[in-house]
Chain A
Amino acid sequence: MNKHAHATRPTRREFLKSAGTAGAVALTIGFEWAGPARRSFAAASSDASASAIFSPNTFVRIGSDNTVTVIAKHLEMGQGAYTGIATVLAEELDVDWAEVRVESAPADAKRYANLAFGTLQGTGGSSAMANSWTQLREAGGKARAMLLSAAAKQWQVPVGELAVEKGVVYHEGKKRKATFGQLAATAAALPVPGSVTLKEPKDFKLIGTRPPRVDVVAKSNGTAQFTIDVSLPGMLVALLKRPPLFGATVKSFDPAAASAVPGVVKIVQVPRGVAVVAKSFWAAKQGRDALEIEWDDSHAEKRSSAAIMDEYRRLADRPALPARREGDAGQAIKNAARTVSASFEFPYLAHAPMEPLDAVVQLDGHSCEIWAGDQFQTIDQANAARTAGLDPQQVNIHTLYAGGSFGRRANPGSDYIVEAVSIAKAYGADGTPIKLQWTREDDIHGGLYRPMFFHKLQAGLSAEGRLTAWRHVIVGQSIVAGTPFAALIKDGIDSTSVEGAANIAYAIPNIAVDLSTTNTGVPVLWWRVVGSSHTAFAVEAFFDEVAHAAGQDPFAFRRNLLEHQPRMKAVLELAAAKAGWGSPLPKGKGRGIAVAEAFNTFVAQVAEVSVDEQGQVKVDRVVCAVDCGTPINPDIIAAQMEGGIGFGLGAVLYGAITLKDGRIEQDNFNGYRVLRMNEMPKVEVHIVPSTAPPTGVGEPGVAPLGPAVANAVFAATGKRIHVLPFSSVSAA
């Protein structure tokens, strides 16, 4: 507990690499991509195979019709991964953007592992572009080199005399030319080059521009295919009745009334409850409503969330484990001329993606086909195989567009996938396709929430107003404990509980960050920006209180302690400048600033709020500055910042899942409020120019939004926010 520096923050890369070798997640063996049983539901993929004559690697195919099909190992859940992936590969390939198609990769960690995760295939931690960057540039560059060699061979000229533009190879000006499609057959017979020279950033034609999203048309005319849209011959629909309390199980059930509903085919019991399998959603829904189940809740979580928070508050004063130690914070606080302290309470949060969870499973004795907006392909494959009693190689996953996720579809237990497989198995594993459909109530009640957290902070200031000490105690549930990702926990510290806090960027001589990990029966999961969804709030809202106590401007106080953090400082300064920091605002309005790093992306935001006489908070404007390395597609970066701000704002204003005697008190979007159109602030996004390797943008925009708004509320009203959510402050 003393002066040794204790950096317990493995990188996300280390974390997932270790998770991959933890043993509980079976690794997968490769599939042949093509083949009659391997058909993909997505219409986009059916046209390519016929004309695909050049497949230089596992990421691209070129057809004789010049179409370029990029194979995406990452899920497209709105974050723009398909477009980003295609952009990077197409850049080095020098192809016409209009010819580019994207298709999802099968589950195969050998070819499609997330390199930031080690040996797992999956999407998360805002890693899609960061881990694909070099891999896909090389894939595109090598394919291009082979097409050039093909032209050189055909025309008997040196490669050096050739030029390429938008999928066409030219010789001697434009005297002789051939399209990639015309060269594909020849290129296919050539060896793959061992290495390739990648473009200099100054030569980029697509990267840094705004090519339209590859999914924008299908998502504007209703043709984009989500899991809910899958229709297979003879397919049935299942709804599952789950226990009302976490940890309860089925004691007995009476299927009579449910079976009597027209269209209901079968009632089956599975580990997670009782499923009604029917010919339509409506029949399954009516059947489930009629189902009578007696539950055994002897092992269930029966506490209320208020009681759990009471326990957390007490734990904050008990010994905890060190997550970070610099100097001696305890002594420095004793020596401080002034101290500041505050605590913060964060509720459980549901992800509530617009598409309620769903999966289609077709299971027989020797194969299991799964259609889903699948985010953890090889984990889901392993869990599905275990549930079905098959080998992972016998489980084939068709990844479709996901109607949002925000982390929900990436769960180590593969909850909804396992449910669907267990229902198909209980049904008889006879090859009947079954679609498991969750309702919104299932989603809100379904657990795997962002954990509840309690934070207690104390700071010490010198007589001159210098920040000398920082103590931070975090109390809450571990996301990874008890999962195959538990390898992440080092010396008792789950890094997803302390990221954004243990690595506080400010130059403070004495720092102590402690973690007290709790246990509850409420299942929890990562939620957009993971630990920083609460740590960034606690750190940045409290930092504002400290600045105020020191009598300093909150922007200047931050900047002065970020001299050694150039990228963080730069976004802070950019946001402040663009927002007109320091310029006067009318009465009832306030401006707040916050900055955060998440997944190696730096984001600062300035929020402007109005608070009316009733204390109602309205966010008018958010100015956002982001440094995510090389901006691959500035329009998608802006979209992710805008979306992260709206998502984060809904959560801090309204988001709370609460339990009363173990029962979830919210059911749908009435009780679990999210942001709506009339509450969306004006957002301006400014991107820092950079040639550093790209980092992610799906999550980091969420981190500074809450504290920026809370700090703005203080500026407008003099009131601090310590309990979330807060749509109003007391008018007193």
Chain B
Amino acid sequence: MKKVWLAVGLLTGLFIVLAGCGGNQGSPTTDGDDLSGSIKIIGSNTVTPLSTVWAENFMNMHPKVSIGVSGPGSGAGIAALINGTTDICQASRTIKLKEIDEAKANGVESYEIKVASDALSVVVNPANPVSELTIAQLSAIYTGQITNWQEVGGNNAAIVVLSRDTNSGTHVFFKEHVVQMLGLASEDKNLEYGSKVLFLPSTEEGVSEVAKNPNAIFYPGLGYVTDEVKTLAIKKTADDAGVLPSVATALDGTYPIARPLLYYTNGTPDGVIKIFIDYCLSDEGQAQVTKVGYVPLK
């Protein structure tokens, strides 16, 4: 019986605490704000965390605005834009010419706004002598053709290949752009992650394993790189110079595994959508980009 009362007491305490939190959040943060409306954002899974943070902050500033974010994928987002079922399409790839034509046929003029960038870093243990790899070498490592560090100029040790699991949008991006070498002469759409690749449930786990394991390799977003791991310079082809991922190299396009994160609207945005996008592009909005782990525009 005593236990029951203890449980009841704990639950009551919890409810009081929760109610307290709710009360604080619910209180209006701006006075006399009459901006209202609703915005629908559909598209890339990768951009979703960023859009969600922006949407939450924006809704806190303007309590009468509601923003819905969903992330089925860039392709689905662009399809929704073409069909006119979304206000903003978030995408981690640029719109294809064919899709622009389809949009025009539907009376939709796609308008592209770059909101942030994403640079995928390739990291190894600091004890690993390898300091740069080409995309082709990375592909061979991730498909299981290269299994020993010796083959890429390292120690005689088996490579422990770490990847995110299929939940991750990055899993797909890395597969397309590195494993399948999208846009290179050696592009091959049939390549898949090898069967020895370790699929990890979180990016943090991959980074911590690389920090402990001298033979591991992993690809976290720039925001996840710590001092305990060594970032590799990436060469697009064997003839190019190796480039380290950074905000600067992601911005000028020299880092090969970087990609823009985009918003598409129907024509130039206006009304509440324009105010929202202006917020995303503002210094305050861009400050959130780094927190989520992506590369800001400036």
Pair from one complex: no
Q: Which residues of B contact A (CB under 8 A)?
A: none
